[in-house]
Structure 1
Amino acid sequence: MSVSITFTDAAKRALASIVAQSERQLKLAFDTDGCGCLVDGVPALWLVDKADDDDVAVETNFAPVLVERSRLIFFDEAMTIDLKPGTTVFQLKSPGQTLNGHMPLVEVKSGHER
């Protein structure tokens, strides 16, 4: 399955300086920490040092985003990352649903889940 990720202008403005000043990469993760099992989780936006072995880079209209190949099944084919109005958190949406309406950018050390 392939995914398409588009950033809104608001999201690009919010992330531009962070990505430009950092040698880190954006990662769209399916965070299962504290969720009980691997199929219970929530999409999360991470800033990571490097790609993990299972990560694939998805080209976007902003910067490449890493996604774990084994977790692609949990995402929709076409997704948009937007900035939640009046906040510093992001939203992950697809044409049919909001996948995560309150998604902060989390810095994660490589090789470690949050």
Structure 2
Amino acid sequence: MFIQWSDEAVAEIAARFGPGASTWKLVSDSEGCGCAMNGVAALWMLDEPESGDLRAGSNRLEVWYEKRHEVFFDELLRVSYDAGRRAFKLASDGQIYSNQLRLEDRRTAATS
């Protein structure tokens, strides 16, 4: 899996989360969905990857994912930012995963 980040997306992440926001995890988040097959794509900012996470290739930020979530995503993904809508977008050549991609700060320091 490879993630391409637009310049606008990287700049907005730095503005929202600070310059240290470099470790992310791509998930198919099914929390509250009622079914593991109906997940919503999300990016979680982490202190560090969890044991067993796989590292995706990336042109900018560090991205990790769980092997079990690999089936939900295409091999090449793009993260962009639309300033007019104040929204991140996750897409591939074959589909749009989200026009309002949720980015969540899950660092332990953020919850303290």
Give TM-score, length-normalised by structure 1: 0.81
Number of corresponding residues: 107
Q: Which ranges in structure 1 are unaligned for 5 or more consecutive residues?
A: none
**Distance in 2, Cα, partners of 1:104 & 1:84:** 13
Quick one: which of 9, 13, 20 aligns to 2:11?
13
- Structure 1 vs Structure 2: percent identity of aligned residues? 30
**Distance in 2, Cα, partners of 1:25 & 1:19:** 12
Deviation at 1:85, TM superposition (A): 3.4
Matched with 1:96 is 94
Structure 1 contact 4–58 (Cα < 8 Å) conserved? yes
User: 1:22-77: CA deviations, max 9, x gaps?
Assistant: 5x611111100111111110110111122112311112110220111111001111
Matched with 1:36 is 34
How is 1:1-114 mapped onto 2 (pairs within 5 angstroms)?
A: 3-16=1-14, 18=17, 20-22=19-21, 25-109=23-107
Q: Which amino acid aligns with 1:29?
A: V
**Distance in 2, Cα, partners of 1:109 & 1:15:** 14
**Distance in 2, Cα, partners of 1:70 & 1:96:** 20
Deviation at 1:21, TM superposition (A): 3.0
CA RMSD of aligned residues (A): 1.9
Give TM-score, length-normalised by structure 2: 0.83
**Distance in 2, Cα, partners of 1:32 & 1:7:** 24
Q: Secondary structure at the match of 1:26?
A: strand
Q: Secondary structure at the match of 1:20?
A: coil
Q: Which ranges in structure 2 are unaligned for 5 or more consecutive residues?
A: none
